[in-house]
Amino acid sequence: MSRLVLVCGMAQEGKTTFAFTKLLASADRLFVLDPVRSRPFNAKAEDAEAGMRPADVRVFRSYDEVAAFLLSGEARGKWRIMLRSENEDDYVRAIRYARHYRHVTLLVDEALVFTDNDEALEPLIKASRMGAHFGGGTGLTMWITAQRPMDLPRDIRSQLTQCYSYRQTEPGDLDFLAKKFSPEFAAAVAGLAPHHVVMFPPDQKAAREGRQGELEALDRGRRGGARDPVGREQEPRLGVPQADRRLSAEETDETHTLAAHGS
Ligand SMILES: Nc1ncnc2c1ncn2[C@@H]1O[C@H](COP(=O)(O)OP(=O)(O)OP(=O)(O)O)[C@@H](O)[C@H]1O
Ligand SMILES: [Mg+2]
């Protein structure tokens, strides 16, 4: 199973909407870092135009609140939470303590915010390595969104295990996608229509086996079409099962819940 996933592509293509939709449908424990107040993370009531946050996603304003939640009995089982803080240090802490998260999917929206900041970069790189190499042990799956793959530092790019891309036009980015993933993938990315996305590897089975298969475009309908991205009709058509691995009985056992946090 993929552990470090990049969703990239030009501004306003739908990266955040896509990542949030996918993970709402598949992650048993979802922790969203929202440093730039992305519109798709607004509740519908707050933002009828683009908001899509379901009512059961709990929003915390500081990492202290998140830590208290993670250590509480409520953190057993399934949940989705979001950190929306004014203070960058809260996000830095959320990433630094990622090594303690168990069976959590961390969605880091707008990774550029973190890669620009030396304080945050080091823990982000560490979390990337953990996701990519020790995912089975720590249970951390990390998804990050960024406009351009080349905005990410090499240490993170090199760890990527899966990529969803909207259209890219910069030669440097296309070159990276061709070398890291495949020339066919890069060519598909360069030719995408607005709001279409392609993934690499093209399906979960191929991802596990480290091979490449057919690429399929996602078409959620035209802009201005149906607005509910979590609705069934908008389910991305990727030709792959939407549900990622579910927690097994063993994994939901108490001994596998969140480890205590350092201060
Ligand atoms: N498949 C789609 N079809 C049509 N419109 C879409 C689609 N996906 C997202 N949108 C719309 O595009 C706009 C941008 O979406 P979103 O914020 O998810 O994009 P983004 O790539 O994360 O943008 P940014 O680069 O600003 O972070 C929103 O208004 C959203 O409703
Ligand atoms: Mg976004």
Among all ligands shown, which has an atom nearest to the Cα of 50? 1
195 Cβ closer than 6 Å to some ligand 1 atom: yes
Q: Whose CA is nearest to atom 8 of ligand 1?
A: 14
Among all ligands shown, which has an atom nearest to the Cα of 20? 1
Domain positions in the chain are: 4-253
pLDDT tens digit sequence for 98-112: 888 888 999 999 999
Q: How far apart are CA 69 and CA 223, in angstroms?
A: 37
- Weakest mean pLDDT among 83-87, 186-190, 217-221, 232-236: 232-236
This prediction has a pTM of 0.81
What count of other Cβ atoms lies within 10 Å of the Cβ of residue 44? Answer: 15
Nearest atom in ligand 1 to the alpha carbon of residue 225 is: 4
CATH of domain 4-253: 3.40.50.300
Burial label, 190 (beta-carbon count in 10 A; 0-12, 13-18, 19+): middle
Instruction: Kindly state the tokens that stand for 187.
Output: 């060519």
55 Cβ closer than 6 Å to some ligand 1 atom: no
- Residue 158 pLDDT more than 90? yes
